[in-house]
């Protein structure tokens, strides 16, 4: 049994999420979960200006590329290559064997994702208790509420929202609300 290694997949830019979902669904359907264990799209968090406010947004760090942790035995490379939106594995020669990433590269990319998400969290404006916010993400999108508690460690807010005429506390991340 050869071990799992990380490979880089080229995909149609803008379809990274679709490709990731396709691969995961197909691998599960074929019972190949032990051969393909993770599909990662390295994302970076950026702050975009929208209506004069800085809005955090995620976008692929390397558009058109995904990282796949896989053991490329038997049909596995074939299955992955035939997924809609997949162009090819990264290889040294055109149509050559997929080249695994070096451990240091993998750690750097995965570490970079952690760093980026922490950086984005640090860059967030801390809220204050009693402040009015609007929920901008999740099932309560569009509701307004008041911050009751701030859980700094978890980067979460407890927001009291009026739902069907009743005050309901919601635990939301900083990213899910914006100041009113």
Distance CA 2, CA 77 (A): 14
User: What are the two backbone dihedrals, phi and then psi, of residue 52, each rounded to the nearest 5 degrees?
Assistant: 75, 5
Q: Is 113 left (phi over 0), alpha (psi -120 to 50) or beta?
A: alpha
Comparing C-alpha atoms, which of 60, 13, 14 is closest to residue 40?
Answer: 60
Higher pLDDT, 147 or 123: 147
Distances (CA, A) of 176 to 37, 111, 158, 165: 30, 24, 11, 22
Residue 37's SS3 state is strand
pTM for the full predicted model:
0.60
Comparing C-alpha atoms, which of 58, 53, 23, 54 is closest to residue 38?
Answer: 23
The confidence band for 119, taking pLDDT boundaries of 50, 70 and 90, is: low
Q: Is residue 125 pLDDT above 70, yes or no? A: no
Comparing C-alpha atoms, which of 120, 119, 8 is closest to residue 63?
Answer: 8
Question: Tens of pLDDT along 38-89?
Answer: 999 988 777 777 787 888 888 888 889 999 999 999 999 999 999 999 999 9
Q: Which distant-in-sequence residues (6+ apart) come within 8 Å of 156 by Cβ?
A: 150, 171, 172, 173, 174
**All domains in the chain, ordered by first residue:** 5-123 (3.30.70.940), 132-179 (2.30.30.30)
Question: Tens of pLDDT along 28-42?
Answer: 999 999 999 999 998
């Amino acid at each position: 049994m050869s071990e799992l290694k990380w490979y880089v997949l080229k995909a149609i830019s803008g379809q990274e999420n679709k490709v990731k979902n396709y691969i995961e669904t197909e691998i599960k359907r074929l019972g190949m979960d032990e051969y393909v264990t993770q599909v990662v799209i390295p994302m970076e968090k950026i702050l975009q200006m929208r209506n004069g406010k800085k809005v955090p947004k995620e976008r692929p760090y390397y558009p058109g590329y995904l990282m796949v942790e896989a053991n490329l035995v038997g049909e596995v490379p074939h299955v992955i290559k035939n997924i809609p939106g997949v162009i090819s594995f990264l290889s040294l020669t055109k149509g050559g064997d997929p080249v695994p990433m070096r451990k240091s590269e993998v750690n750097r990319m995965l570490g970079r994702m952690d760093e980026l998400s922490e950086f984005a969290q640090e860059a967030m404006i801390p809220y204050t208790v009693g402040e009015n916010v609007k929920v901008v993400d999740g099932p309560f999108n569009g509701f307004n509420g008041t911050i009751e508690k701030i859980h700094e460690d978890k980067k979460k807010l407890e927001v009291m929202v009026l739902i069907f005429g009743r005050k309901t506390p919601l635990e939301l991340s900083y990213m899910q609300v914006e100041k009113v």
